[in-house]
Structure 1
């Protein structure tokens, strides 16, 4: 790995320099060789060597490990100091295409930001993040990625004992809204400006020549997150902890804690065991994302204008771009799922289908995927309508839908668009849970490897893995998910 660590050259108030805490018996579970190739990494073949590197037991030349400082609004309540309590940024690598990426270990031991925690991760959250983040990448959704995962040979205690693990996470950066909040809460305007300039240079260099580059930066971040959340909604993804410290300024999905994917469509669905009031329910995600953007805007106010009233006016104007950007992207995503171009009439057709899916407890992924073949097959039409308890209602919907297709496109083109827009396979919660149980209870990673391999090509039919398309049986349903802290 060839490192160029720009974040380590920022003032030291931005981080703590600290090395990962060694683990007892590191063992390599999986190396993402495709990602390693994309990053241009020349890694050894020796699994023991790889386990040492990706557990943090061995540092390579050029690594400058550090834990980043940040604050954050957690479930709406501000916490002035959070930071990397169980993660260490090893450094930054520049890929052959000149894109810059952070290489971070998660579960690598205590830092000064651990707040009494052990700095470790149970194996289960490591598996979950690897599986889900790589699936999100395959869906075409901006995300951090997983380079490797290892076992530690140690026990991690939460409510009960679990084997430990470390995941190596790759992201465009790990700078968060909470990073700005850390300095803004301390009235460190100079550090806010340093951070804003760094984010511009790293992620949004095109705004540097704008008349007000900080307002342009704010708008770019708002638009990136409006598009991101719309893409989440299109695959039934529920992040679970949309705190400002889990909101990356790069517009990528990060921090896969108690995340989950909907089975049957329920817009108020919550999985996270800690989200007892449903703040981060599926249908609340756009509103919360905009709320988070408002928190960022508050941090940037001193940079938007020297005049406070003007700064607020600029900030409010930028924030108002979020809703139309989300609406436009969400309509594009959802209309594509029924094979039609985005417009208000077609979106009404989507909403009518979602209402029927909600009323009849129809699986979100299965319904949209089966709809893909309806224009080409009478048998497919029968299988689709059989998902609904009321055949009359869904038959009427299909009639209206076919009329719109015939008026605007061809059935063949609609089917092709739908097959590109509706995955056959998602990381179903019960499949992830089965993989975690096999790994933690029996040291068996075969289910995890199979699930990862299937999800590399989520839009393909893969009939040999048809059972992975199916929703859970009632006794298999996962109703709660848990973070690793």
Structure 2
């Protein structure tokens, strides 16, 4: 049988200025590293066929499947605050779109599939390490319940790519609600192509916000919808200690998904100023800065939409500012509600925010592990001897706070076991710790050993379960295991 993709493409039906038609560059000897079988089934694909040599050839870009309409999407973007009028898919090619089993339209994109007109003298390829990192982290984010692009497959190309040295090459098959970004709107706004901005906005509304189509002011509602989704998304990032690392506007998805896992990382010890990205030298995208940057990116989107709001500039600006002004309250509401769940509060009372902030301050001062502090706090809800305090350099700091916490939770009617279950449902035991991800990459790149990768992916698929057999995966790094910098891999 032949591998069949039920493509129903819509973005490639837009005007030619939206993309460049370009086929993937064939690779020498594709070999499947990992296929996400549950995701394949969700997309209406046959995983058994995708695991054949024919399937690997498609997932590596060596063969273009029937019905595909390969394109590289055009977009611009602010990169670390500096505007670049043309970026685009420089090493990714959108094969096409399918309708999944829930009726949702999903992009299927090959990342690392060769040069495009947007490559800017790059080779368009991806090294094995960044491909494995994105597979691991994007699927971990999905398991954590955070909106995200997903990974359908990782394929070894049988070739090397040249970065600082020769590295094994690979291709990631990425699945997304769409790959439309704030930077996509900026591409046309920078060219003063208002009709293209309108066409793009109409496409986004039909695809992602269909409930807005018949409203009197659909473009205002579109901005409001994107603001709401981004506020919720970034709140969820902070609640699991995730740092995107490169929140440029071309990495800000209109659908509200996490996209582009380059120098991303999860915190070990809680530090609001934490930066891992090697290219974020000024800390622009530090952990605690992410809400502010998200609002800054949304302001850039609003600027693109102004001509669709009103012919009167001052009126359009005022209307946009009013919509953007909702971000702070929406983010704060989502973040504070999430924090209350993390510490086991079922009701909202005066003093809750201060109580939780006191915990965060103590965690920062005592270099407490972000993930394990909250996880062990769930155990402390049923057992006073639980080792949440062991996360603190000065356990007395936790003891003082815990006394006030116990007095507060006593005001709610839930039992201790109910509270523990609720807290464990939102506080993961397992995250993609940086030292674990790096160890997996080194085993694959240096020894062609993918067993550690398979095991890590398996553990991270159930982040809220205790999994005693894999308890070591919850441990923070030892001092000599700490990863201080992450890299984008381009």
Instruction: Give the TM-score normalised by structure 2.
Output: 0.97
Map 1:318-467 → 2, pairs under 5 A? 318-341=323-346, 342=348, 345-380=351-386, 383-410=387-414, 411-467=416-472
Q: Give the corresponding residue for 2:21.
A: 17
| Structure 2 gap segments, 5+ residues each | none
* CA distance 1:76–1:99, shift in 2 (3 Å): same
Q: Give the corresponding residue for 2:476.
A: 471
CA distance in 2, matches of 1:71, 1:181: 6
CA distance in 2, matches of 1:46, 1:419: 36
CA distance in 2, matches of 1:254, 1:127: 15
CA distance in 2, matches of 1:62, 1:207: 30
CA distance in 2, matches of 1:42, 1:50: 10
Q: Give the corresponding residue for 1:39.
A: 43
CA RMSD of aligned residues (A): 1.0
CA distance in 1, matches of 2:460, 2:10: 34
Map 1:6-405 → 2, pairs under 5 A? 6-43=10-47, 44=49, 46-341=51-346, 342=348, 345-380=351-386, 383-405=387-409
- Report how many aligned residue pairs link the two structures: 483
Deviations for 1:6-39, whole angstroms, at most 9, x for unmatched residues?
0010000000001000011111000000001111
* CA distance 1:356–1:181, shift in 2 (3 Å): same
SS at match of 1:437: helix
CA distance in 2, matches of 1:91, 1:170: 10
How far residue 344 of structure 1 moved from its aligned partner, in angstroms, is 5.3
How far residue 180 of structure 1 moved from its aligned partner, in angstroms, is 0.2
- Alpha-carbon contact 2:368-2:393 (below 8 Å) kept: no
SS at match of 2:39: helix
- Alpha-carbon contact 2:35-2:51 (below 8 Å) kept: no
How far residue 348 of structure 1 moved from its aligned partner, in angstroms, is 1.7
How far residue 345 of structure 1 moved from its aligned partner, in angstroms, is 2.2
CA distance in 2, matches of 1:154, 1:322: 46
CA distance in 1, matches of 2:442, 2:397: 41
* CA distance 1:45–1:211, shift in 2 (3 Å): closer
- Alpha-carbon contact 1:331-1:343 (below 8 Å) kept: no
How far residue 392 of structure 1 moved from its aligned partner, in angstroms, is 2.8
CA distance in 1, matches of 2:335, 2:130: 29
SS at match of 2:107: strand
SS at match of 1:37: helix
SS at match of 2:425: helix
| Structure 1 gap segments, 5+ residues each | none
- Alpha-carbon contact 2:27-2:157 (below 8 Å) kept: yes
CA distance in 2, matches of 1:297, 1:226: 15
- Alpha-carbon contact 2:6-2:44 (below 8 Å) kept: no
Instruction: Give the TM-score normalised by structure 1.
Output: 0.98
- Alpha-carbon contact 1:370-1:384 (below 8 Å) kept: yes
SS at match of 1:312: helix
CA distance in 2, matches of 1:461, 1:82: 43
SS at match of 2:391: coil
CA distance in 2, matches of 1:89, 1:45: 18
CA distance in 1, matches of 2:405, 2:441: 41
Deviates more, 1:212-221 or 1:155-164: 155-164
How far residue 216 of structure 1 moved from its aligned partner, in angstroms, is 0.3
CA distance in 1, matches of 2:328, 2:84: 27
Deviations for 1:278-329, whole angstroms, at most 9, x for unmatched residues?
0000000000000000000000000011211110111000000100000000
Deviations for 1:22-58, whole angstroms, at most 9, x for unmatched residues?
0111110000000011111124165312210100111
